[in-house]
Amino acid sequence: MAANDAMMDLLRVLKDKGSITQEEYELLSGAAKADDETNSAGQGEIKAAAATLPRIETRGKLELATPDGEFSWRLGGRIHMDAAFMNNDTGFDASGAKSDPTLTSGTEFRRTRLDLTMTLWRVWQAKIQYDFTGAAAAGFRDVYVRYLFKGAQPGHLTVGNFKEPFSLDELISSNDDTFNEHSIATNTFSLSRQIGLQYSTWGHDLWTGTVGVFGEDPVASANHPGAGNDAEGYSVVGRLTLSPFHTADRVAHLGLAGSWRTPDQGDSGITFGPRPEINQADILVTTGAIPGIEGYTRLGLELAGVYGPVHGQAEYYNVDVNRGDELALGAAGMFEDLNFDGYYLQGGWIITGESRPYKFESGTFENPKPRSIVGNGGWGAWEAVARYSHVDLQDDDLGICMLATAANTCGEQTNLSGGVNWYPTPNFKFTAQYVQVLDIDGGRYDGAEPGIFQLHTQANW
Amino acid sequence: MAANDAMMDLLRVLKDKGSITQEEYELLSGAAKADDETNSAGQGEIKAAAATLPRIETRGKLELATPDGEFSWRLGGRIHMDAAFMNNDTGFDASGAKSDPTLTSGTEFRRTRLDLTMTLWRVWQAKIQYDFTGAAAAGFRDVYVRYLFKGAQPGHLTVGNFKEPFSLDELISSNDDTFNEHSIATNTFSLSRQIGLQYSTWGHDLWTGTVGVFGEDPVASANHPGAGNDAEGYSVVGRLTLSPFHTADRVAHLGLAGSWRTPDQGDSGITFGPRPEINQADILVTTGAIPGIEGYTRLGLELAGVYGPVHGQAEYYNVDVNRGDELALGAAGMFEDLNFDGYYLQGGWIITGESRPYKFESGTFENPKPRSIVGNGGWGAWEAVARYSHVDLQDDDLGICMLATAANTCGEQTNLSGGVNWYPTPNFKFTAQYVQVLDIDGGRYDGAEPGIFQLHTQANW
Amino acid sequence: MAANDAMMDLLRVLKDKGSITQEEYELLSGAAKADDETNSAGQGEIKAAAATLPRIETRGKLELATPDGEFSWRLGGRIHMDAAFMNNDTGFDASGAKSDPTLTSGTEFRRTRLDLTMTLWRVWQAKIQYDFTGAAAAGFRDVYVRYLFKGAQPGHLTVGNFKEPFSLDELISSNDDTFNEHSIATNTFSLSRQIGLQYSTWGHDLWTGTVGVFGEDPVASANHPGAGNDAEGYSVVGRLTLSPFHTADRVAHLGLAGSWRTPDQGDSGITFGPRPEINQADILVTTGAIPGIEGYTRLGLELAGVYGPVHGQAEYYNVDVNRGDELALGAAGMFEDLNFDGYYLQGGWIITGESRPYKFESGTFENPKPRSIVGNGGWGAWEAVARYSHVDLQDDDLGICMLATAANTCGEQTNLSGGVNWYPTPNFKFTAQYVQVLDIDGGRYDGAEPGIFQLHTQANW
């Protein structure tokens, strides 16, 4: 594709007409060819250099990659800040051994993370993510090494610290949660991140399957060396999801997850008890540390969908606690098995018309992407949200539970929450949400109905 | 702007002269146009690609940005290391309840920070900065989300953890301090970073105004949840600066700041007491924890200037402590209000002739930029500095203060300091500074006059 | 180098032949020159822009630099994860005061680091590296400022926190260790990183020399301020290496290192005692805290080599402990001086044929670079390794040592280890290694022979 064809043509014409001699023609066409090579070389050099330039993304995220994508580096992070204002409802019956909740208003950093996610040599990945609001083992979040299967059956094998495949609410990134905090049901029954090994795969644009073996979280695990415990606790966890359709504005999602866990025999007991949907608030119902647990089985059911700007999500959790009979408790002579459960229903309406996006391969949802940007003449995306949640930590066989002592406050809790979320750009989110405890039935705070208002400020990149 | 006009002209001439036919002319000029398009397309393609390339700065700082600057990412940080050599002056009168200061020579990391500062979607900013010499909440430094007002009245609104707008000495970045440590007066009366909400604006190339509401710092704030305290302490803080001129080598700066603060009622007391201008040294005068504080009002006055290579800076601070009368103290029957104050004067002469730069919008100063670089044939910038500082923590109404017990050592302290700063490049700084305690009047170390020599090594990027 | 010489030549020919007039010639050649300038300017502009583009490396590491290399920024890091399975060998004689080792199987994050290494202004460097498995001072790794001597005698001067120049096994990066953990001998006698000042140089492609003064590590150093200790401990350390040849597949390395150290007089005692070559396992032999140490002298001898795919490495360490006579111990009346030593021999065979690379300037080794990449049709590099190690912490003059109490368990330990290392790409490493304690002679675990199996997963970039 020489760029001086005209000169070559002209020389030929002039030679044919005898305007220049054959000798002159040869000299001149030689010079013309040299010109062309000089030109092409200059451009080619630049094009070659440009082709090897990394692909650099700076709009909304920071990612450097090779042009073929075989290597990529993304420096991500998030800042989540909260201010909570508590209404303690101190007017309820505080006679007997019961006490008022003393929820403290105030501010806190909820999450301050940096992470580096790398694709290396095409089929390998590694991620290191640290949350500075923790320290040492408490600060570990996703830290893993992953192998990508790129063949006929796509999938990945992951080893490290990451979320177990249990609970849609838990698996959705904290950047993308509809509510500031998980429901009391999720918070009670999901274990979030642990050190483990997991295989995940998917197919037919319809189903995903994930199965993993997990030990303990890094804090619990770091307490082992030299501590003389018998063994590290471990789980087998699996999750299946089904999504018959998932377009930009229509999604149906079903999920089923199960887990069987043997706790560390050195632990003094396992506790089930949630924060009341605001991190800064005290736990209001809890089983206390249950002794003698040999293992427990968890079950989770997920149902979620998107219909234009409206989205809904519901889950049911059940845990079946198996306790050994080798230890006696009072007159009862042995430990009884226990069963707890909980559920939530939540929904949102994106007033500005965007839809909540679905990620098929992980079976999770993301924040709506605002169509109009604040700072570019727009108003961002606005969303109204509501949630009803319930957890039942009452089991007659727990025995010690109805005593409602300070140390052991099991019972039932029901919450109703509502709020407004504002997404001025894809990187920022502000929410104002109110959690009303509808009822606490049993336990230390029996009958209390505190309310909590929370402002949440978020940057994620 | 075709780049083969000569060919077009020549063809026209040859056609006009009859050297080539009209038909040949049309063919040849068509080929010439095609050549030109090929050429232009090649160059245009490359230019278009170049225009979308991010703007990447690697000389002295690491910043990636979109060409229009609407998005930018800067990975910054600092390493500050100190070695201190203490002269304890153990020869003073140590009779009675008084004791010798036991300052310990040694090395330490003073600051080791990484930070990521982002501009996103033109008018939004976020910054996350962590100091690894702390841990968890103690490591938080600037972590905030900011909205930039780009209209007729420029300014910004910030929410997160950052420095309250009080004290020029405090607001100058620790990278740019003339002395290794703040004066004893600054260290006593400024609160540095807290979680807060702040609006800042400026105008007429003359004035800046900043006002904010602040809660507690992240360490104090993180102690709240579940701790049962009544409330988080909070302040209202404002600062006005005036700079009638600020050229490259002439600056005048005046500042006035005020703050009213209500402490957390759960706190057992508030302490005013500075490190003696070296971080590794013990506190020599302090009020101890003052009980019964209902609130306190701080006032700060700033005066600073640059005249060629000479710069000067002075501040006066006053705090008025309001104590309630609901608690009795000994025979006195109630708490008295208290008043403390302090000031410093400091100056520097940049021997190599550079001037100390001023940042008008924040009303602060920066390190001189060396004209000649070590490593590029130069010697860097050299600066001689001196400071006189005084703090008065003696108030007869404090009552318990003259007892000079170990637990409560209020008094007055006066320091004289001097040193040499070397800036071999804009990214490195080395200092050798000596702090002489001229006098301690009252308190546990009454009459002691220790001296401290410190070597400081700094990299910042 | 004009790129339209042909046009100029043609015009000259046509003018000489009279096909165009002198006037036409001048006009046309003017136009041709203008064309050339337009063309050159376009290309020159692009070339100039390209020349100022940073040099960005994204294949296997992330580094941004100026084209001349005078500034560079590298964001590195590593994830090391371990799972250990312990065989406690509880069958040995546990009578008397002796006890069984209770090694606990489990998982842990061994290292999770991020680091930023910078070259600034050609001859300056800085590095900040933090390990998130620690916290605050415990997380500091390499944090330093360095000046590069680029003249006739190359070298560098470093101040900060980094490894003292003692022990080849210690100086090799933890990414590049042949075994998951250092030998028991190395772990006993090397001090790794401390705050210090060091000069290093090399010459004739034959020798390197390094000498430094070191204080304490950041954890010990951070405990100083206000703690009332007398002084910070300090060492003088030096190392000489000799490598008569070091090609891609043939290396000979000899090293000699010495150190004299005065401990912090405020310390209650110095302990020599290694982890048994797995970090999660308890210490099996240790001197306990030795009181009355005035100083100690360490000596290290290094011998290593590479012959094609085979490599070997051996070291001998000796410490001579000088104890004061100012404190009496029982009937003995004064402390006796002590002497301990240890050594290891290890070797590896890279089955897939690669050689272990040598870094002459630091006198250390690196991981083999796999010739075939997993993910690109290859199988990576595979290596079989073995090690024999011994440490003798028995000294009759320690007096209290033969008592074999829980608090003091000195003795001798001998280990034999073997394993397989897999390097699927240059950024990932997986190992399976077994450590068999051949013998513990003396101390609390006298006669025990536990074994430990460990799986190690590593990403480094």
- The residue with greater pLDDT, A249 or C224, is A249
Confidence of residue C17 (pLDDT cuts 50, 70, 90): confident
For residue C382 the two structure tokens come to: 């595979």
**C77 contacts A225? CB cut-off 8 A:** no
d(CA C236, CA C213): 5
**B9 contacts C10? CB cut-off 8 A:** no
Nearest to A114 among B72, B128, B135 (CB): B128
d(CA B364, CA B241): 10
Taking every pair of Cα atoms in chain B, the longest distance, rounded to a whole number of angstroms, is 124
pLDDT at A229: 47
Q: Is the pLDDT of residue B309 over 80?
A: yes
Amino acid at B98: K
pLDDT at A150: 93
- The residue with greater pLDDT, A59 or C294, is A59
Chains sharing 3 or more CB pairs under 8 A with chain B: A, C
Nearest to C425 among A28, A50, A120 (CB): A120
Q: How many C-beta atoms lie closer than 10 Å to residue A14's C-beta?
A: 24
Nearest to C128 among B114, B282, B374 (CB): B114
- The residue with greater pLDDT, B104 or B458, is B458
**C139 contacts A195? CB cut-off 8 A:** no
Nearest to C43 among A14, A42, A49 (CB): A42
- The residue with greater pLDDT, C225 or C414, is C414
- The residue with greater pLDDT, B139 or A327, is B139
C43 contacts on A by Cβ (under 8 Å): 42-43, 46
Assign 3-class secondary structure to C80-130. Answer: EEEEEEEECCCCCCCCCCCCCCCCCCEEEEEEEEEEEEEEECCCEEEEEEE
d(CA A454, CA A432): 6
pLDDT at C5: 77
DSSP codes of every residue in A227-282: T--S---EEEEEEEEE-S-B-SSEEEEEEEEEEEEE--TTSS-B------SSTTSP
The DSSP code for B167 is -
Amino acid at A18: G
Report chain C's mean pLDDT, rounded to a whole number.
Answer: 87
Give the CA count within 13 Å in the CB-facing half-sphere of A91: 4
d(CA B44, CA B51): 10
Nearest to A107 among B10, B70, B221 (CB): B221
Q: Which residue has the tokens 């020798």?
A: C207
Confidence of residue B331 (pLDDT cuts 50, 70, 90): very low
Q: What is the pLDDT of residues C146-163, one digit of tens each?
A: 999 999 999 999 999 999
Chains sharing 3 or more CB pairs under 8 A with chain A: B, C
Q: Which of A39-48, A289-298, A354-363, C440-449 has the highest mean pLDDT?
A: A354-363
Confidence of residue B224 (pLDDT cuts 50, 70, 90): low
> C27, C124, C140, C219: which to substitute to probe chain B, counting the most B Cβ within 10 Å?
C124
User: Distance from B191 to chain C by nearest Cα, in Å?
Assistant: 22
**CA nearest to C138 within chain B:** B133
pLDDT at B408: 52
pLDDT at C404: 42
| Complex prediction ipTM | 0.90
d(CA C92, CA C103): 15
pLDDT at C396: 66
d(CA C333, CA A6): 107
Nearest to A121 among C53, C107, C376 (CB): C376
Confidence of residue A400 (pLDDT cuts 50, 70, 90): low
Instruction: Please state which of the ranges A397-411, A413-427, C117-131, C254-268 shows the lowest mean pLDDT.
Output: A397-411
Q: What is the pLDDT of residues C27-62, one digit of tens each?
A: 888 887 887 777 777 667 666 766 777 899 999 999
Q: What is the pLDDT of residues A115-144, one digit of tens each?
A: 999 999 999 999 999 999 998 899 999 999
- Kindly state the average pLDDT of the residues B412-420: 96
Confidence of residue A222 (pLDDT cuts 50, 70, 90): confident
- Kindly state the average pLDDT of the residues C73-92: 85
**CA nearest to B137 within chain C:** C136
pLDDT at B93: 45
C121 contacts on B by Cβ (under 8 Å): 60, 373-376, 425, 427
- Kindly state the average pLDDT of the residues A41-60: 78
**CA nearest to A223 within chain C:** C108
**Residue C434, helix vs strand vs coil:** strand
> B33, B61, B104, B458: which to substitute to probe chain C, counting the most C Cβ within 10 Å?
B104
User: Distance from A70 to chain C by nearest Cα, in Å?
Assistant: 8
**B42 contacts A3? CB cut-off 8 A:** yes
**B4 contacts A10? CB cut-off 8 A:** no
**A31 contacts C374? CB cut-off 8 A:** no
B424 contacts on C by Cβ (under 8 Å): 124
Q: Is the pLDDT of residue A208 over 60?
A: yes
- Kindly state the average pLDDT of the residues A58-77: 95
> A8, A35, A45, A58: which to substitute to probe chain B, counting the most B Cβ within 10 Å?
A58
φ, ψ of residue A312 in degrees (nearest 5): -140, 155
Angle of CA points C77, C80, C85, to nearest 5°: 175
**C19 contacts B9? CB cut-off 8 A:** no
> C28, C198, C230, C267: which to substitute to probe chain B, counting the most B Cβ within 10 Å?
C28
Confidence of residue C6 (pLDDT cuts 50, 70, 90): confident
Q: What is the pLDDT of residues A69-81, one digit of tens each?
A: 999 999 999 999 9
For residue C188 the two structure tokens come to: 């006993």
pLDDT at C42: 66
Amino acid at C19: S
User: Distance from C111 to chain A by nearest Cα, in Å?
Assistant: 11
pLDDT at A145: 98
Q: Which residue has the tokens 């993370």?
A: A113
**CA nearest to B26 within chain A:** A6
Q: Is the pLDDT of residue B125 over 90?
A: yes
Report chain B's mean pLDDT, rounded to a whole number.
Answer: 87
Confidence of residue A221 (pLDDT cuts 50, 70, 90): confident
pLDDT at B2: 53
Confidence of residue A1 (pLDDT cuts 50, 70, 90): very low
Confidence of residue B333 (pLDDT cuts 50, 70, 90): very low
pLDDT at A404: 42
For residue C332 the two structure tokens come to: 């003995």
User: Distance from B377 to chain C by nearest Cα, in Å?
Assistant: 11
Q: Is the pLDDT of residue A407 over 70?
A: no
- The residue with greater pLDDT, A426 or A271, is A426
Confidence of residue B406 (pLDDT cuts 50, 70, 90): very low
Chains sharing 3 or more CB pairs under 8 A with chain C: A, B
**C215 contacts B376? CB cut-off 8 A:** no
Q: What is the pLDDT of residues A311-338, one digit of tens each?
A: 999 999 999 998 875 444 444 445 778 8
A27 contacts on C by Cβ (under 8 Å): 9
Instruction: Please state which of the ranges A372-386, B370-384, C252-266, C415-429 shows the lowest mean pLDDT.
Output: C252-266
What CATH topology corresponds to B54-460?
Porin (2.40.160)
**Residue C300, helix vs strand vs coil:** strand
Confidence of residue A415 (pLDDT cuts 50, 70, 90): very high
Instruction: Report yes or no: B141 and B225 within 8 Å, Cβ to Cβ.
Output: no
Q: Is the pLDDT of residue B344 over 60?
A: yes
**CA nearest to C123 within chain B:** B375
**B195 contacts A112? CB cut-off 8 A:** no
pLDDT at B230: 52
**C120 contacts B427? CB cut-off 8 A:** yes
Report chain A's mean pLDDT, rounded to a whole number.
Answer: 87
d(CA B194, CA B187): 15
**CA nearest to A149 within chain C:** C375
Q: pLDDT > 70: what percent of chain C?
A: 86
User: Distance from A246 to chain C by nearest Cα, in Å?
Assistant: 31
Strands A338-350 and B234-242, bridge-based pairing: unpaired
**CA nearest to B216 within chain A:** A107
**A128 contacts C77? CB cut-off 8 A:** yes
DSSP codes of every residue in B282-338: PP--B--EE--EEEEEEEEEEEEEEETTEEEEEEEEEEEEEE-SSS--GGG-SPPPE
φ, ψ of residue A291 in degrees (nearest 5): -80, 160
Q: Is the pLDDT of residue A113 over 60?
A: yes
A10 contacts on B by Cβ (under 8 Å): 7, 10-11, 14, 20, 28
Q: What is the pLDDT of residues B257-293, one digit of tens each?
A: 999 999 886 666 788 989 889 888 888 888 888 877 8
Confidence of residue C13 (pLDDT cuts 50, 70, 90): confident
Q: What is the pLDDT of residues C254-307, one digit of tens each?
A: 999 999 999 886 666 788 989 889 888 878 888 888 877 889 999 999 999 999
d(CA B146, CA B160): 9
Instruction: Please state which of the ranges A423-427, B46-50, C385-389 shows the lowest mean pLDDT.
Output: B46-50
Which residues contact residue B215 at a Cβ distance below 8 angstroms, ignoring those fewer than 6 apart?
A106, A107, B194, B195, B196, B221, B232, B233, B234
Q: Is the pLDDT of residue A384 over 50?
A: yes
> C53, C90, C112, C373: which to substitute to probe chain A, counting the most A Cβ within 10 Å?
C112
Q: Which helix (H) or strand (E) holds B11?
A: helix B5-17
pLDDT at C22: 87
pLDDT at A288: 80
pLDDT at B373: 96
Instruction: Report yes or no: B89 and B451 within 8 Å, Cβ to Cβ.
Output: yes
Q: Is the pLDDT of residue B95 over 70?
A: no
DSSP codes of every residue in A121-163: TTTEEEEEEEETTS-GGGGEEEEEEEEEE-SSS-EEEEEEEEE
- Kindly state the average pLDDT of the residues B106-129: 96
Instruction: Please state which of the ranges A357-366, B222-231, C177-186 shows the lowest mean pLDDT.
Output: B222-231
Amino acid at A285: V
Q: What is the pLDDT of residues B52-90, one digit of tens each?
A: 778 999 999 999 999 899 999 999 999 999 999 888 765
Strands C293-307 and C250-262, bridge-based pairing: antiparallel
Q: Is the pLDDT of residue C330 over 50?
A: no
d(CA C300, CA C320): 12
Q: Which residue has the tokens 């800036």?
A: B423
Confidence of residue C333 (pLDDT cuts 50, 70, 90): very low
